[in-house]
Amino acid sequence: MIEGIPIYHFLIVSTIMFFVGVCGFIIRRNLITMLMAVELILNSVNINFVVFNRYLYPDQLQGHFFTLFIVGVAATEAAVAIALIINIYRRFKSIEVQNVSEMKF
Amino acid sequence: MTIEQFFLMRHELLLILAAIIVLIAELAVSESGKTKIIPFAAGLFALVTAIGFIPAETGTLFGGSFQTSSLTLFMKNVLNLAVLIIFLQSEGWLKKPENSERISEYFILTIVTLVGMNFMISSGDFLMFYLGLETATIPAAALVAFDRLKSHSAEAGIKLILSSALSSGILLFGLSLIYGATGSIYFADIVAKIEPSPIIILAFIFFVAGMGFKISLVPFHFWTADVYEGAPINVTSYLSVVSKGAAAFTFSIIVFKVFGALFEQWQHLVYALAVMTMTIANLFALRQDNIKRFLAFSSIAQAGFILLGILGANEMGMASVVYFVLVYVFTNLGAFGVATSVFNASGIETISGYKSLYKTNPKLSLLMTVALFSLAGIPPVAGFFGKFFLFTSAASRGYYILVLIAVLNATVSLYYYLRVIKSMFIDQTDEPIAAFRSSISMRISLIMCVSGIFVVGFASGIFEYIREISQLFF
């Protein structure tokens, strides 16, 4: 609990981060940037968990632990995704989405 | 915690052990004899599957994080069986020279994703559920990009990992809201505090959006067709059967167990998703010529039918979902098995390329016909009973219009399934696919599929058993 800062402030920040991430994922056309947008979403979730835990349920640790696991999983996800992006770059000589879409409906 | 309690995780422990044994076997075989791993791993997995069927204790572990019941054990056995059939079918593809270096990787990655799905099914809190979900999807992306020298495979891999990362992000946001509203991530505690407040409903919508990606329900299905087309064909069958089946199991468990009290609120959402999924997937399936894309849209449509069972929201609904997935395993793997052996023999994966297949390979054509009839739901085969129970469960809640829409969609789906059959039996061509013999393991897997299609349909004891264990679950 931080004196003088109500929970709403944190939640507004995290919600804005979440939707910036979703918009970024949809609008951006570069694979690395899309990956960064996903990381933004995951970090907004982390803020949510920590803030809920700290402000509403300070006597337990479930939210904190969930956050730690999300950080770990996000790292593995980024590792696999970047490996795949390197593979894409070798095949297509580009990581722009419009160049990497041979399959369409 | 005693050692006996630890063995409640028998399925998971066995699978992890199998993955480690395959890893050691990779070190033990000589450079030229890597293909020996294929029969070894398939045999090992057959053993794991057989041990899984031995009756076991049920209970909870880790303070409620991990729960088993006879229903979850049955679900894990169904998934094991499906993976065994896929392993038998993948021999021809793995023996190709470009894969000789990476045979054991395929087995290890597949088994690890299966471990993740098992944890997901058994989860008793949202943390275990999330970890299982990620363990099931991240290695799956590596599997999809397995043919790393082919640009389609690479493209499919990146599409899968990015869309699944987005979907799990959305799902997690929903979970964080649930945590904020109820103060717990354990299913048992959430059930006690859940109420139809706006924040919970918003969280449920995020949750459905995230799971909808995994089951490929319609507004979230855009990755499915591309990934299925680009992935190697055995990985496609893995995604469309095992991955989707596990996600459907988990979705129904959590929706019934955690959100059961909110049925009045979520029924409209699931209703709308079911209608959209069935209709749009059927319309897209009409215009496909690539067999993998065709089966992708067909599997999206089948996911729409699964939602009908979930709408039942009672033990009949649960039983019909589990039974349908069991039928779907044999049916879809039968169709994929034929597509795989045709692809391995001739490199053809278009429906128009199947012309006159009946003249040269009558057995395979008949098998494909049985599988497609079962997918469409024609009476003598198991697919009919699967759909029948799903419709019954939706009708028992009074969704007559939804059932009518579903029946109409099943009729439309018959058109595109028959298109494949027409191509095989009626269309003439001067250069049909030459006659070929499949490998022994492929034939074993196809025999398993055919006998499964008929036995599961006719042996009423199987559905009775599933219904019994579903009753214990509620």
Q: What is the pLDDT of residues B392-421, one digit of tens each?
A: 999 988 889 999 999 999 999 999 999 999
- Which band of pLDDT confidence, cut at 50, 70 and 90, is reported for residue B360? confident
Q: Which residue of A has its CA nearest to B158?
A: A84
Instruction: With a cut of 80, say whether residue B124 has pLDDT above it.
Output: yes
Q: What is the pLDDT of residue A104?
A: 64
CB contact under 8 A, B157 and A84: yes
Q: What is the mean pLDDT of chain B?
A: 90
How confident is the model over B327-353, as pLDDT tens digits? 999 999 999 999 999 998 888 888 888
Residues 6+ apart with CB under 8 A from B59: B5, B8, B67, B68
Distance from CA of A21 to the nearest CA of B (A): 9
> HSE-up of B306 (CA within 13 Å, CB side)?
31
Q: Which residue of B has its CA nearest to A58?
A: B183
Q: What is the pLDDT of residue B63?
A: 84
The span from the CA of B127 to the CA of B386, in Å, is: 32
How confident is the model over A87-97, as pLDDT tens digits? 989 888 888 88
Instruction: With a cut of 60, say whether residue B283 has pLDDT above it.
Output: yes
With pLDDT > 90 as the criterion, what percentage of chain B qualifies? 51
Alpha-carbon distances of A4 from A1, A8, A14, B76, rounded to whole Å: 9, 11, 18, 51
Distance from CA of A3 to the nearest CA of B (A): 20
CB contact under 8 A, A91 and B151: yes
Distance from CA of B165 to the nearest CA of A (A): 7
Q: Which residue of A has its CA nearest to B141?
A: A80
How confident is the model over B432-442, as pLDDT tens digits? 788 888 888 89
Best A80, A86, A100 residue to mutate vs chain B (most B CBs within 10 Å): A80
Mean pLDDT throughout B453-466? Answer: 88
Distance from CA of A31 to the nearest CA of B (A): 9
Instruction: With a cut of 80, say whether residue A102 has pLDDT above it.
Output: no
Q: Which of B158, B169, B183 sits opposite A45 (nearest CB)?
A: B169
CB contact under 8 A, A85 and B158: yes
Alpha-carbon distances of A66 from A19, A62, B116, rounded to whole Å: 21, 6, 17
CB contact under 8 A, A45 and B176: yes
Distance from CA of B156 to the nearest CA of A (A): 9
Mean pLDDT throughout B60-76? Answer: 89
Distance from CA of B296 to the nearest CA of A (A): 11
Q: What is the pLDDT of residue A82?
A: 94
Q: Which residues are B327's β-sheet partners? A: none
Chain B residues in contact with A62 (beta carbon < 8 A): 127, 179, 184-185
How confident is the model over B236-263, as pLDDT tens digits? 999 999 999 999 999 999 998 888 888 8
Q: Which of A18, A31, A66 sits opposite B127 (nearest CB)?
A: A66
Mean pLDDT throughout B279-287? Answer: 90
Q: Which residue of A has its CA nearest to B226?
A: A103
Best A43, A50, A70, A104 residue to mutate vs chain B (most B CBs within 10 Å): A70
CB contact under 8 A, B185 and A69: no
CB contact under 8 A, B172 and A42: yes
Chain A residues near any Cβ of chain B (below 8 Å): 18, 21-22, 25, 31, 34-35, 38, 41-42, 44-45, 48-49, 52-53, 56-57, 60, 62-63, 65-66, 69-70, 73, 76-77, 80-81, 83-85, 87-88, 91-92, 100-105
CB contact under 8 A, A42 and B158: no
Instruction: With a cut of 70, say whether residue B373 has pLDDT above it.
Output: yes
| Secondary structure, 3-state, chain B | CCHHHHHHHHHHHHHHHHHHHHHHHHHHCCCCCHHHHHHHHHHHHHHHHHHHCCCCCCCEEHHHCEECCHHHHHHHHHHHHHHHHHHHHCHHHHCCHHHHHHHHHHHHHHHHHHHHHHHHHHECEHHHHHHHHHHHHHHHHHHHCCCCCCHHHHHHHHHHHHHHHHHHHHHHHHHHHHHHHHCCCEHHHHHHHCCCCHHHHHHHHHHHHHHHHHHCCHHHCHHHHHHHHHCCHHHHHHHHHHHHHHHHHHHHHHHHHCCHHHHHHHHHHHHHHHHHHHHHHHHHHCCCCEHHHHHHHHHHHHHHHHHHHHHHCCHHHHHHHHHHHHHHHHHHHHHHHHHHHHHHHHCCCECHHHCCHHHHCHHHHHHHHHHHHHHHCCCCCHHHHHHHHHHHHHHCCCCHHHHHHHHHHHHHHHHHHHHHHHHHHCCCCCCCCCCCCCCHHHHHHHHHHHHHHHHHHHCHHHHHHHHHHHHHHC
How much is the ipTM here? 0.94
Chain A residues in contact with B183 (beta carbon < 8 A): 56-57, 60
Q: Which of A21, A25, A80 sits opposite B161 (nearest CB)?
A: A80
Q: Name residue B62's amino acid.
A: F
With pLDDT > 90 as the criterion, what percentage of chain A qualifies? 64
